[in-house]
Amino acid sequence: MTSPSWPETSRDGVTAPDLGYGVPGSADALRHVMGHFASGVTIATALHHGIKHAMTATAVCSVSLEPPLVLVCVSKASRFHGAISKATHWCLSLLTVDQEALARHFANRGRDLLSQFDRVPHTPSPLSGTPLVDGALAWLECTTYGRHDGGDHTIVVGQIVRASGLPSDDDPNARPPLTYYRGAYS
Ligand SMILES: Cc1cc2nc3c(=O)[nH]c(=O)nc-3n(C[C@H](O)[C@H](O)[C@H](O)COP(=O)(O)O)c2cc1C
């Protein structure tokens, strides 16, 4: 039996692991394998001391129905980490396929925090005034239910206190979601 190696080159020239035997867990392995897990794209937002904070986030998942909980994993190195830790409420706007530019904007580490919403149409959330991205597929407003250490991220669990989305698939304004898969938007 040959020992597994990392990385290998697959038929399409993309670096790929030997899935037969597996490879030791590593940041590269996680990036590569989880890059094959297609996800929706959200903009996480928080309002703190009157400053509108935001961050593109795909590490988002529903957690519980009773109570209604979702989670977002936030890098401890991000500026958003401080904001979501201190804000009373935070929001997730689920992007449509037309909103890739927004996803890129709020993932840009160099952007200016104070002006980052200047050219982004948005609406204050009902309970806290946290920015909701206009034209999003759906949005959630949350209070923090729990915070858990997740290595270089914090797993922030939110209790949904307000939510809205398009009513049905046959709505004439319905748009497909923006997705992220193997490092590309579609
Ligand atoms: C497609 C995509 C998804 C991302 N998802 C997350 C995520 O779930 N959690 C996270 O902490 N950072 C995520 N990031 C990185 C942040 O968006 C990025 O680091 C952001 O600029 C942090 O901004 P800040 O430091 O100003 O808060 C993602 C980036 C991209 C491009």
Q: What are the residue boundaries of the structural domains of the chain, listed by start?
A: 1-37, 39-181
Q: What is the mean pLDDT of residues 70-85?
A: 97
Name which residue sits closest to atom 6 of ligand 1, judged by CA.
57
Tell me: the pLDDT tens digits for 2-28? Answer: 444 445 444 444 555 555 677 788 898
User: How remote is the CA of residue 10 from the centroid of ligand 1, in Å?
Assistant: 28
**Are the C-beta atoms of 149 and 74 separated by less than 8 Å?**
no
Q: Write down the pLDDT at residue 170.
A: 77
58 lines ligand 1 (CB under 6 A): yes
First to last CA, the chain: 40
Q: Write down the pLDDT at residue 172.
A: 75
CATH class of residue range 39-181:
mainly beta
90 lines ligand 1 (CB under 6 A): no
Percent share of the chain, pLDDT over 90: 77
Distance separating alpha carbons of residues 50 and 55, to the nearest angstrom: 16
Q: Which residue has the tokens 């929706």?
A: 40
Tell me: the pLDDT tens digits for 132-176? Answer: 999 999 999 999 999 999 999 999 999 999 999 876 777 777 889
